[in-house]
Amino acid sequence: MSKQSAWDYLSEKGKNVYVQLGTRCQKTINKLKTQDLIDTVRESKMVGYDEGGPYKMLEHELERRDSNKKWYLAIIAVVVTVTGILINIFIE
């Protein structure tokens, strides 16, 4: 299956995700829902549109969001831990 025909098999939602990623405007990219990115990755693999630059940009954005999510969770865990330790110190 060629790349052109694979593009034709993508849903409108999947094509829209690629078009918005192609703008390279961070505000536009941030408006994309993470679930839409995940769905587009699955769909792209299914129709054979998982090679080349646009797919790499899609994967990169998904990895970036996953990394940010992990950092937020780590910071929250540290704050909760420090709060717990301070509460135990002041209670005793």
pLDDT digits (tens, 9 = 90+) for 5-34: 788 889 999 999 999 999 989 999 999 999
Residue 29 near residue 61, CB atoms below 8 Å: yes
Residues sharing a CB contact under 8 Å with residue 31, sequence separation 6 or more, in sequence order: 20
Euclidean distance between the first and final Cα of the chain, in Å?
69
The model's pTM is 0.75
pLDDT digits (tens, 9 = 90+) for 35-62: 999 999 999 999 988 888 899 999 999 9
Question: What pLDDT score was predicted for residue 52?
Answer: 84
Question: What pLDDT score was predicted for residue 53?
Answer: 87
Question: What pLDDT score was predicted for residue 4?
Answer: 63
